[in-house]
């Protein structure tokens, strides 16, 4: 069980948001890849919370992770949680029944996917194929594949907010291609396994999900700006800060992911995000300065690597009509609230920064 009060509160929120749908997990076994990462740990924590408070019979979780970017598990191993160290690009044999499968392993930060170029492709393609093979072999009730809003590349402004039907504007050789194109092929594998073998797989396309448990050295924009505040260094805004993004707090995102996993929309992709707060990165930096340290400086260095300096998508905002209509999904956490929760957690998790007396709002 996590010792973080912010994360405990989040898990409570997630459990409330998916009851009574979550009863489908009662007495079942769920296998997840990437369980030691940011998203995976929230799934495992949410199921642990459901086991303690909600489910009539516990849901057993098996996690596969090779710790390439994941850090550690927040739930301890025991009868309902087993951790396997394995790189999912290699096939794996599991000697027990599996009811649900989540393929959340992946290398999502542009900093790391530009360093681990081939590993990034392998986990989204070979890894997805191996997970689909397991879903087929185990006759799983449902599988969830973690695709990405990056499948849309640098969308034409006429297609923003972007619906699932937009085909994308993506380079197959550019600086983001190893991530974008492998995520796209992963989706193609999913559809092919559904159409050929009837594997009940669904795909989610997350839009800039953030929250507690992200590595402060993840280098994505929110952890990087918060880390800068904590270290007292200027917030690095790349490319003039004109690119726009929307940000989805983790509790809303996990609620959306469970809704897709536990649905019957086999072979379908779903956007998961928050469509309420499309802002420029300059504005994001200004909000963070205003919230946490009015003396902090904003800097404009060149992008960290070619994914930023040559291929930064200009905008990203989800069209959530499909999620709202089919799955009754509604994001609830506004950006300022989510940022405060992130900061509260960062100080909880990194006591070396606690001397910075930001007003902790939630803990």
Q: Which of residues 186-215 bind ligand UDP (CB under 6 A)?
A: 208
Could you tell me which of 53, 50, 2 has the C-alpha nearest to residue 28? 50
User: Among 183, 187, 204, 206, which residue's Cα sits nearest to residue 195?
Assistant: 187
Q: Please give the size of the binding site for ligand UDP, defined by CB under 6 A.
A: 15
Q: What is the spatial distance between Cα 6 and Cα 11, in angstroms, rounded to a whole number?
A: 9
Q: Hey, which residues are catalytic here?
A: 179
Closer Cβ to ligand UDP, 238 or 292, answer by number: 238
**In whole angstroms, how close is the CB of 11 to ligand UDP at the nearest point?**
24
SS3 state of residue 101: strand
Residues 302-341 contacting ligand UDP, CB under 6 A: 303, 308, 312
Nearest CA among 214, 203, 183 for reference residue 42 = 214
The C-alpha angle with vertex 89 and arms to 87 and 94, in degrees rounded to 5, equals 70
Q: Is residue 298 classed exposed, middle or buried when 0-12, 13-18 and 19+ CB atoms within 10 A define those classes? A: middle
51-59, 230-238, 251-259, 330-338 -> range binding ligand UDP (CB under 6 A): 230-238
Q: Exposed, middle or buried by CB within 10 Å (0-12, 13-18, 19+), for 118? A: exposed
Nearer to ligand UDP, 23 or 283 (CB): 283
Least distance CB 319 / ligand UDP (angstroms): 17
Tell me the window of 93-101, 133-141, 231-239, 352-360 that interacts with ligand UDP (CB under 6 A): 231-239
Contacts to ligand UDP from residues 133-162, by CB under 6 A: none
39 near ligand UDP (CB under 6 A)? no
Q: Which of 221, 226, 289, 323: binder of ligand UDP (CB under 6 A)?
A: 221
Chain-centroid distance of CA 102 in Å reads 12
Q: Does 259 bind ligand UDP (CB under 6 A)?
A: no
Binding site for ligand UDP (CB under 6 A): 110, 208, 220-221, 224, 236-239, 243, 245, 281, 303, 308, 312
């Amino acid at each position: 069980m996590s010792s973080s009060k912010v994360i405990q509160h989040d898990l409570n929120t997630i459990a409330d948001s998916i009851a009574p749908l979550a009863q489908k997990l009662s007495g079942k076994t769920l296998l997840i890849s990437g369980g030691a990462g940011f998203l995976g740990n929230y799934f495992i924590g949410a199921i642990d919370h459901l086991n303690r408070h909600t489910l009539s019979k516990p849901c057993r979780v098996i996690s596969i992770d090779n710790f390439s970017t994941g850090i550690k598990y927040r739930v301890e191993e025991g009868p309902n949680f087993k951790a396997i160290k394995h790189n999912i690009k290699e096939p794996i044999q599991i000697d027990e029944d599996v009811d649900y499968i989540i393929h959340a392993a992946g290398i999502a930060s542009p900093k790391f996917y530009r360093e681990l170029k081939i590993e990034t492709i392998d986990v989204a393609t070979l890894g997805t194929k191996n997970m689909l093979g397991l879903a087929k072999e185990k006759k799983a009730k449902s599988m969830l594949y973690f695709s990405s809003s990056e499948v849309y590349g640098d969308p034409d402004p006429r297609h923003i907010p972007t619906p699932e039907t937009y085909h994308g504007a993506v380079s197959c050789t550019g600086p983001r291609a190893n991530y974008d194109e492998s995520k796209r092929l992963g989706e193609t594998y999913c559809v092919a396994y559904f159409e050929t073998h009837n594997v009940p797989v669904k795909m989610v396309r997350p839009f800039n999900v953030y929250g507690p448990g992200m590595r402060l050295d993840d280098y994505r924009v929110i952890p990087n700006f918060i880390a800068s505040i904590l270290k007292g260094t200027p917030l690095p805004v790349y490319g003039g800060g004109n690119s726009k993004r929307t940000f989805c707090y983790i509790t809303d995102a996990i609620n959306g992911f469970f809704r897709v996993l536990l649905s019957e929309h086999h072979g379908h992709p779903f956007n998961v995000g928050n469509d309420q707060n499309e802002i420029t990165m300059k504005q994001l930096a200004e909000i963070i300065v205003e919230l946490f340290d009015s003396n902090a400086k904003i800097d404009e260095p060149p992008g960290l690597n070619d994914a930023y300096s040559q291929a930064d998508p200009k905008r990203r905002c989800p069209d959530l009509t499909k999620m709202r209509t089919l799955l009754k999904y509604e994001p609830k956490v506004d950006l300022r609230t989510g940022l405060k929760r992130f900061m509260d957690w960062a100080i909880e998790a990194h006591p070396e920064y606690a001397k910075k007396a930001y007003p902790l709002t939630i803990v």
